[in-house]
Amino acid sequence: MGHAGKTDQLKGSDPLYALRHSAAHIMAQAVRRLYPETKLAIGPPIEDGFYYDLDLPEKLTDEHLAKIEAEMQKIIQENHAFKQSFMSKQEAIQYFKNKGERFKLEIIEGIPDEKVSIFTDGEFVDLCEGPHVPGTGQVKAIKLLTLAGAYWRGDEKNAQLQRIYGTAFFNNDDLQAYLTRIEEAKKRDHRKLGKELELFSFEELAGPGVVFYHPKGALVRSLIEEDLRKRHLARGYDLVATPHLFRTDVWQRSGHLDYYRENMFVFEQDEQAFGVKPMNCPGHILIYKSKLRSYRDLPLRFFELGTVYRNEKSGVLHGLMRVRGFTQDDAHLFLREEQLVEEVSSVIDFAFDMLKAYGFTDYEIELSTKPAKAIGSAEIWERAEAALRQALSSRNLKYEVHEGEGAFYGPKIDIKIKDAIGRSWQCGTIQCDFALPERFDLTYIGEDGKEHRTIMVHRALLGSLERFFGILLEHYAGALPTWLSPVQVAVIPVGETAAAYAKEVQGQLKALGLRAGMDDRNERMQAKIRDAQMAQIPYMAVVGAREAQAKAVAVRHRREGDLGVMPLDAFAARLADECNQRNGSA
C-alpha cells in the first residue's frame, strides 16, 4: 500500500517504482513464510528503495536479514505472476478481518471508494493499488539494508512496528554502485560527525527534536547567520524580529489553525489561547500592517532568522534533518502584482549565489501547484502559478511540475541541491501568496490615490539552518571549508624552546581575525598532527627552533599533507585569502 504525496510523484516519474513496489511485496511474503503470525502494515517504494512495516512475533536483528533475503530469492525463482483483482469494501473488510490484519482493516475503512484493489502473487495477498512488474522473477538485483522501529502512522501513541528497509535495481551494477554510496553516506552521517567534532548534541532530559549547539557548532552557526545578514542587507532587505508566541487569533486569521493545527504547540494562559509560531509569515504581515504603505515603498523585503517550532511526530525526527525547533533564513516580500515576476527572478538568482558560496552548484527545480486543501480563489492561484512559471522561463531554467504539492496558501518553487555523493536535498523555496494578503487585508496606496491589494512572496534560501548544517557536514564529510571551520589552524610547537614563538604565531594569526588554536600538550608531534586532522582543522602550523629563527611556519593541510615551510606573513595571507573567497572548497 503506497504513501500519498511524494510517493505518488515517484509512481509517475521513476521507472524503478513498480520494481521496488514488487520487491516490498516479495519481502513481506518472505517474512510471512518465515514468521506466519506476522501482521502487515504498509510497504511503499521510497526514493532509494522500499520498506515494509510489520508486526512480528519476535524482535528482528541484522542476522535475520540474510535469512529473509534468501527466502526472497526463492520467491523470485518461483516467478509468481502479480495479479490484480477487486473486492467490494465490505468483502475486503471481512477478508482481512478473518486474517486478523487489523492495520489493513484500518486502511480499508479510510478508503472512500466502494471497491478496493488487491494484488496476489503465489500464496501472498495484499491490499494494494499497484503498479507491479509482471512477475516476481523480474526482481533480481535486491538487497535488504537496515531495520528500524516505526510507530503505526507515525504516531507514538500507536503500536510500534518493525520496519525493514531494502532496495532494488534493474541490474547488479546499479545495485553495487548504490551500496558503495550507502557506505560512503554512513561515514558522512552528520549525527556521527556532530558528536566526533563536538558540534552539537541531543539531550534526552530535554526531550526529542531540540538541538544543543556546543561551542564549535554555535560558532559555525553564527558564521552562517552573519553571512546571511550581510548578503540580505546588500540586496535591499530589511532585518526584522518577531515574537515566538502569538494569540491564536492570529493563527485563526492566517488559516494555520484550520490547516496546520496538528503541527502546532497550542496552550492556554490567563484564559487566552496562544500558539508557538510554526512559521514567521504572520509576524511579518503584522509589521507590514503597522502603518499605511505607498506604492513608492514597494517592494518591501523583510528578513528574519526566525526560530519556529513544529510538533513533528517523534517517529519522523532525524538528527538535524528533522527537528521540532529550528531557525529559518526567512523573508517575506510585499509588492505590487506587476513586480512579481522580477522579484521572483531576483530571488532565484540570490538563491543560486548563496548556495554556490557554500559549494553547491548542481540543482533540481520543482514547481508545485494547488493542493486539495487550499485557501483563495482559483483565479488568484492561476495568476500566482503563471508568475512563477514566467520567472523560471526568464532564467531559462528547467523544472518539474508537481501537481497538488503547493502550500495551502499558494504555489511554490523548490530548489534541491545535489551533494558530493549525488544525493538531493531540499533547500530553497519561493512561495507566491495572493491568499494571506486577502485574509489580513494588506493594501498599499497606488499612484491613483486608491487602495490596492498587496501581493506577498514567502522565501527561504537555505531553509532550516539546522538542516542545512547537517547537509554541509555530510557534503564535506566534516571537513568544512576554511572560512566555516571553527578552528582554522592548529599551531603545534615542537619542544619547549618553541613554546614562546608558537604563542607569537597564534597571537599574530588571531590579530588578523583568523581562528588559531594551540596544541601545547606534552605529546609527540605526529600525535598532535593526527589529532588535528581527526578534528578536521584545515591547517597545521608546526614550529620549532628553525622556524622561530626564520619567523616561519612548517605548514600542513588536512587533505594535501606537507606544504613546506612558509614565512608567517605569507601563510597568514594565504589563509585570509582562502577565507575571503568563500568558494566552498574544503
250 found inside a domain: no
In a domain, 135, yes or no: yes
Give the CATH number for residue 49: 3.30.980.10
Between CA 389 and CA 423 the distance in angstroms is: 26
431 and 530 in a single domain? The answer is no
Let me know if 281 is a catalytic residue: yes
Let me know whether 224 and 178 are in one domain. no
Task: Based on the fold, state whether residues 180 and 47 are members of the same structural domain.
Answer: yes
Q: Is residue 72 part of a domain?
A: yes
Provide the CATH number for the domain around residue 282. 3.30.930.10
Which candidate in 9, 29, 162, 328 is catalytic? 328
- Tell which of 475, 497, 527 closes a domain: 475
Q: Residues 382, 529: one domain? A: no
- Domain count for the chain, please give it: 3
Query: What is the residue range of 528's domain?
Result: 482-581
Residue 69 domain flag: yes
CA distance 433 to 442: 12
The β-bridge relationship of strands 49-55 and 45-46 is antiparallel
Pairing of strands 83-88, 200-201: unpaired
> Alpha helices, DSSP H only, in 79-214?
89-98, 102-109, 172-187, 190-196
Q: What angle do CA 563, 567, 568 make, to 5 degrees?
A: 100
Burial class, 17, CB count within 10 angstroms (exposed 0-12 / middle 13-18 / buried 19+): buried
Among the listed residues 332, 402, 467, 556, the single catalytic one is: 332
Are both 497 and 567 inside the same structural domain?
yes
Residues 520, 503: Cα–Cα separation, whole Å? 10
Residue 531 lies in a domain: yes
Contact predicate 584/481, CB 8 Å = yes
For residues 437 and 565, membership in a common domain is answered with no
Q: What is the CATH number of the domain that holds 490?
A: 3.40.50.800
Please confirm, yes or no, whether 458 is among the known catalytic residues: yes
Distance, CA of 388 to CA of 331 (rounded, Å): 17
Instruction: Say if residue 352 is in the same domain as residue 330.
Output: yes
- In terms of domains, do 364 and 437 share one? yes
Note whether 301 and 316 are same-domain residues.
Answer: yes
Catalytic residue, from 132, 458, 467, 558: name it.
Answer: 458
* Residue 192 maps to a domain: no
Q: Is 330 a residue of the active site?
A: yes
- Identify whether 586 is part of a domain: no
* pLDDT tens per residue across all 586 residues of the chain: 333 334 444 555 578 999 999 999 999 999 999 999 999 999 999 988 999 999 999 999 989 999 999 999 999 999 999 999 999 999 999 999 999 999 999 999 888 888 999 999 999 999 998 899 999 999 989 999 999 998 888 777 888 999 999 999 999 999 999 999 888 888 999 999 999 999 999 999 999 999 999 999 999 999 999 999 999 999 999 999 999 999 999 999 988 888 788 889 999 998 899 999 999 999 999 999 999 999 999 999 999 999 999 998 887 889 999 999 999 999 999 999 999 999 999 999 999 999 999 999 999 999 999 998 887 788 888 988 999 999 999 999 999 999 999 987 889 999 999 998 888 899 999 999 888 999 999 999 999 999 999 999 999 999 999 999 999 999 999 999 999 999 999 999 998 788 999 999 999 999 999 999 999 998 899 999 999 999 999 999 999 999 999 999 999 999 999 999 999 999 999 999 888 877 545 4
Inter-residue contact 427 to 228 (CB < 8 Å): no
Of the candidates 422, 445, 475, which is a domain's last residue?
475
In a domain, 199, yes or no: no
Active site residue 332: yes
Which of 53, 126, 329, 330 does the annotation list as catalytic?
330
In this prediction the pTM is: 0.80
Q: Is 74 an active-site residue?
A: no
